A = this chain, B = another copy of it.
Amino acid sequence: MPVLVMKFGGTSVATLDRIKRAAKRVGVEVAKGYDVIVIVSAMSGETNKLVGFVNDTSQLYDAREYDAVVSSGENVTAGLMALTLQEMDVPARSWQGWQVPLQTNSAHSAARIEAIPTDNINAKFAEGMKVAVVAGFQGISPEGRITTLGRGGSDTTAVAFAAAFGAERCDIYTDVDGIYTTDPRIASKARKLDKIAFEEMLELASLGAKVLQTRSVELAMRFKVKLRVLSSFEEMDDAAGTMVCDEEEIVESKAVNGVAYSRDEAKMTLISVADRPGIAAAIFGPLSEAGVNVDMIVQNISEEGRTDMTFSCPTDQVARAEKAMADAKAAGDINFHDLVADTDVAKISIVGIGMRSHAGVAAKMFATLRDEGINIKVITTSEIKVSVLIDRKYMELAVQSLHDAFELEKA
């Protein structure tokens, strides 16, 4: 039997009625002849509640205990989903991560999947079971402790199962009906994409589009898993969603396929750094060790042996970055006049695999922003992306004008 993986996020299993609704969709796929693996998240709100318990108990918590506590929400949903399917006369049973066993490394609360043995579940499929319901987000370490895969980890669980079982497709059911050219709450002309390339999805995911966990997209790309994002709230027939696929499957690509934004970015500038060989390593080494995720980096032209170094990082890591820099200065590893943090910025990105073959995309972006009177503070580019840091007050305007300039509303 062909295998289909269906993943339901927290809002899709938030109540018993929604679990029933999701189970009906599973039943439709079973009726088509699929053996289905269902990956479930915790009921929405549950994981936050459990994380709150842990944080209120301990500031510097033992990540192994965090995982043991936080993984329990998915176990509840998995059992309830199996019961709901049985109630519909669909043969089903639940698996918790350790029962599969979904083997991970020991990096608790951000573990990476190492193996998913298929014999256990395939034996049950052979016996006539139609649906394996698996608790998402969790696995077991080599030491036999429960691990979790980090926020959004159920997406990664789903894609990994699809890869392990050679599934025909991996359907991610969520509360939006697909991937849009940009956030419809900001640009009303935003258009749902029928298809998007893995690379584009990867950029959008890491730029803050919250639909899919970045690692799940990486994994899908690596193992050529056909990934579909669709809404569990629409009628089944209308829920075409967005296919995330190989760029070869996208016949003609526009230069730009999406505009992303992030308001959680801060701009940090080290003023008057003594410029010498190795200075970048002396700055970004300590930041990395302190767990600061540096995104963009710009170095000004050096004058009289001194330079300004600007970088961006998530807003909630600013304090950590400041401490790391102060410590490095105190230790004599680096020398700078001042560190200025600007948290009143936003990052705007345009993404498209067509950029590789279309010239002048970045120039058009800069001109569009200039025409709106928006000053660009930092620029970074990749092969299929251009990102800029701007004043946060212009964020919506920038997204809308770029969406218009690149005519993203047109298919």
Contacts and interface: CB of A to CB of B under 8 A. Distances in A.
B75 A58 contact: no
Contacts of A58: 83-84, 86-87
A96 interface: yes
A56 interface: yes
**Identical copies in the complex:** 2
A76 B57 contact: no
Given A72-B76, A75-B72, A83 B98 contact: no
B83 A75 contact: no
Interface in A42-76: 50, 53-54, 56-58, 61-62, 64-66, 68-69, 71-73, 75-76
A87 B86 CA distance: 43
A19 B86 contact: no
Interface residues of A, number: 36
A115 interface: no
Given A16-B53, A16-B56, A99-B144, A65 B87 contact: no
Contacts of A79: 54, 65-66, 68-69
Q: Tell me the interface secondary structure of chain A in the complex.
A: helix
B62 A68 contact: no
Contacts of A78: 68
Given A53-B16, A62-B86, A75 B80 contact: no
A69 to B, nearest CB: 4
Nearest to A17: B56
A82 interface: yes
A38 to B, nearest CB: 13
A93 interface: yes
Interface of A: 16, 19, 50, 53-54, 56-58, 61-62, 64-66, 68-69, 71-73, 75-76, 78-80, 82-84, 86-87, 93-94, 96, 98-99, 144-146
19 contacts: A16-B57, A50-B76, A53-B80, A54-B83, A57-B80, A58-B86, A62-B82, A65-B79, A65-B82, A65-B83, A68-B78, A68-B79, A68-B94, A68-B96, A69-B80, A72-B72, A72-B73, A96-B146, A99-B144
> Which 8 pairs of residues, A with B, have the shortest CB-CB distance?
A69-B79, A68-B79, A72-B72, A65-B79, A58-B83, A57-B83, A72-B75, A65-B83
